[in-house]
Amino acid sequence: MKRVGLLTSGGDCQALNATMRGIVKALANNVDELEVYGFMNGYHGMIYGDYRLLTSRDFSGILTKGGTMLGSSRTPFKDIRKPDEKGLDKVEAMKQNYYKLRLDCLFVLGGNGSQKTANLLSEEGLNVIHLPKTIDNDIWGTDMTFGFYSAVNIATEAIDCIHTTAASHNRVFIVEVMGHKVGWLTLYAGIASGADVILIPEIPYHIDKVLEAIDKRTRDGKGFTVLAVAEGAVCAEDLKLSKKEYKKKMEKNNYPSVAYELADQILKKSGNEVRITVPGHTQRGGAPCPYDRALSTRLGVAAAQAFLDGDFGKMIGIRNNKTVRVKLNESAGKLKVVEKDDQFIKEAKLLGISFGD
Ligand code: F6P
């Protein structure tokens, strides 16, 4: 008899269910007797003993379902060593629940923060296998995270829709794309939708350069401009501010996010009125795209194989289209950012896309 636990932690994304299905189907086909426990709402369920014994029926028909059947929540890594309000030691509680259920392995589907906790539990002696989930694609050690391409599709469609109305009205539009501190999602969706300006956190923008790009389009007889702007993008001047000063500046000017700051800068300097669209959490919702279904199934099966091989303390990633096992303590805490000299950036610049630098 083998017993395994599953949890989905952090901001959700598409293909969480598909990944769990991949793990469990591959295990069920290769293990004589299997018990699968699902911890509810991420690490919260593991801390407080909120779990469900899952059956094969739970894993049927979920390949195409968005969200996560286990629920998810954020349990910040920085607080994980701090006792809860009743004095409970969270790490100890998770270990106790793992041992109480006599688990042979815990599969953690999560992003950067969840990965750090997975690594901690592994260092504490639990058998842990991590699967890289996030629309941000910012996990070090894997070319791709599941959820990313589904989000690219949604952000691309949003920018496509903006394109037609921007063209009809000869307007300047900003579409603000998710991605947290990295620009992968904006870069891919921006290129896929033919955005004229792409601003990402890794390349601080200069407002004069952005205006130059808009002016150039006007001079070329194109009445509209579409800007794909990452939520984490920042102008070069703001980089000089501390986090606190930046927050204060945004609040003082009533800028809910960088898109509003940029729109205001454009208006003040050029008189151009700018419209803003923020697709927000739609980018994390709905069914996984076919690529993510295939990727997450492959990662799930590879995770099951790592379990069968007794190879723990690993993240299952994909590199050069092959699944790989990456040591958790190598990947945890590192961010995969867009390098300024990435080939993709160079190609985009050759196309005439402005990055505001
Ligand atoms: O990490 C995934 C993500 O969707 C980021 O792109 C975004 O910055 C963040 O989560 C939003 O978090 P929340 O759902 O907590 O608002």
pLDDT of residue 317: 98
Please give the backbone phi and psi of residue 336, each rounded to the nearest 5 degrees, phi first.
-95, 105
Contacts of 234-241 spanning 24+ positions with Cβ under 8 A:
234/201, 234/204, 234/205, 234/258, 235/204, 235/205, 235/206, 235/207, 235/261, 235/262, 235/265, 235/356, 236/204, 236/205, 236/206, 238/204, 239/204
Q: Is any atom of ligand 1 closer than 6 Å to the C-beta of 180?
A: yes
Tell me the pLDDT tens digit for each residue of 294-332: 999 999 999 999 999 999 999 999 999 999 999 999 999
Do the beta carbons of residue 266 and residue 209 sit within 8 Å? no
Tell me the pLDDT tens digit for each residue of 11-54: 999 999 999 999 999 999 999 999 999 999 999 999 999 999 99
SS3 content of the chain, % helix, strand, coil (to 5): 45, 20, 40
pLDDT of residue 185: 98
Best residue for ligand 1 mutational test, from 73, 75, 136 (most atoms within 8 Å of Cβ): 136
pLDDT of residue 234: 97
Best residue for ligand 1 mutational test, from 68, 146, 284 (most atoms within 8 Å of Cβ): 284
Q: Is any atom of ligand 1 closer than 6 Å to the C-beta of 179?
A: yes
Is residue 220 part of the annotated active site? The answer reads no
145 C-alpha to ligand 1 centroid (Å): 15
Structure letter (DSSP) for residue 339: P
pLDDT of residue 297: 98
The residues, ordered by sequence, that sit 6+ positions from 218 with a Cβ below 8 Å of its Cβ are none
Nearest CA to ligand 1 atom 7: 180
pLDDT of residue 182: 98
12 C-alpha to ligand 1 centroid (Å): 8
125 C-alpha to ligand 1 centroid (Å): 30
Q: Is any atom of ligand 1 closer than 6 Å to the C-beta of 111?
A: yes
Nearest CA to ligand 1 atom 8: 180
pLDDT of residue 123: 98
Q: Is any atom of ligand 1 closer than 6 Å to the C-beta of 284?
A: yes
Do the beta carbons of residue 135 and residue 282 sit within 8 Å? no
Q: Is any atom of ligand 1 closer than 6 Å to the C-beta of 151?
A: no
**Joined tokens for residue 106:** 């815990």
Q: Would the CA dihedral through 284, 338, 314, 307 be positive or negative?
A: positive
- Closest among 99, 77, 97, 81 to 89, alpha carbons compared: 81
Number of neighbours of residue 3 by Cβ within 10 angstroms: 16
11 C-alpha to ligand 1 centroid (Å): 6
CA distances, 12 to each of 8, 48, 113 (Å): 8, 20, 13
pLDDT of residue 216: 96
Q: Is any atom of ligand 1 closer than 6 Å to the C-beta of 135?
A: yes
Residue 183 and residue 353: Cα distance in Å, rounded? 15
Where along the chain do its domains lie?
2-147+288-331, 149-284
Best residue for ligand 1 mutational test, from 73, 114, 133, 135 (most atoms within 8 Å of Cβ): 135
CATH number, domain 2-147+288-331, options 3.40.50.300, 2.40.110.10, 3.40.50.450, 3.30.300.30 = 3.40.50.450
Q: Is any atom of ligand 1 closer than 6 Å to the C-beta of 183?
A: no
Residue 310 and residue 317: Cα distance in Å, rounded? 17
326 C-alpha to ligand 1 centroid (Å): 24
Atom of ligand 1 nearest to the CA of 10: 1
pLDDT of residue 186: 98
- Closest among 104, 109, 101 to 73, alpha carbons compared: 109
pTM over 0.95? The answer is yes
Classified by CATH at the fold level, domain 149-284 comes out as: Rossmann fold (3.40.50)
Low-confidence residues in the chain, pLDDT < 50: none
Do the beta carbons of residue 130 and residue 115 sit within 8 Å? yes
- Of the candidates 136, 138, 196, 292, the residue annotated as catalytic is 136
Same fold, 2-147+288-331 and 149-284: yes
